Structure 1
């Protein structure tokens, strides 16, 4: 909801009244897939792989109109599940019309500048690896020639 609030204020000079941040029902890391699943009705109403594909796979590129519509529909569907409706009803409402223009301008600028800085980060990094690589039983050992502590386990690495 914070991103929507900032975008509407900066790009269209609009304010939000009576909005609900669905992830406010989360108890843990708001950016995790599991907390998002919990906020949308848990795995008995959703397919985890579909939620992951819709909400987490396109972080490096702009969201398409189709994905945006599907995200809005998923949020709408989650809000009418009886158990979730009770939880959402108990949440406080977001009213940006109560925030002075000076404060909204500063909040919006800080948020947008953060997004812009984040978009400047490289999506991939090339590291130089020492040619001596040892292979053992289910184990591959290699050394980065410049930064010895920079190689981390990841499913997205290519060697």
Structure 2
């Protein structure tokens, strides 16, 4: 965490919204200006160690929640976009990170839908194979 800059704007915004705070109120609680908080929320500024510590003490935010929230989702989203149905639509890594961080619930829903779609496609393929085998059996029985 020491060498890595942490850009957690969407997470900070979700925390603020969940607590029903304005940018001004949260900034005041953190001892920073509202304009600086706005820059943080838009990922224009990284979180400092002091700010992470203040978030933990004032708003009871687990510092580990502020890093890498999207890592697993990014890999799963990349898998979604490599489906042949979406050929040529693969967003870049940064776009996938931004999607996963800015809209984690929507990302999770897309991943869940894709997995259900893939499972149903596999079931359909299995059913087609069974029907094809059944047709072969009937052809052999007729001869």
With structure 2 as the length reference, what TM-score do the two structures score?
A: 0.26
With structure 1 as the length reference, what TM-score do the two structures score?
A: 0.24
Q: Identify, as 1 or 2, the structure richer in helix.
A: 2
Q: Compare CA radii of gyration and give the structure with the larger one.
A: 2
Q: Identify, as 1 or 2, the structure richer in strand.
A: 1
Question: Which structure would you say has the larger RCO, counting Cα contacts within 8 Å and 6 or more residues apart?
Answer: 1
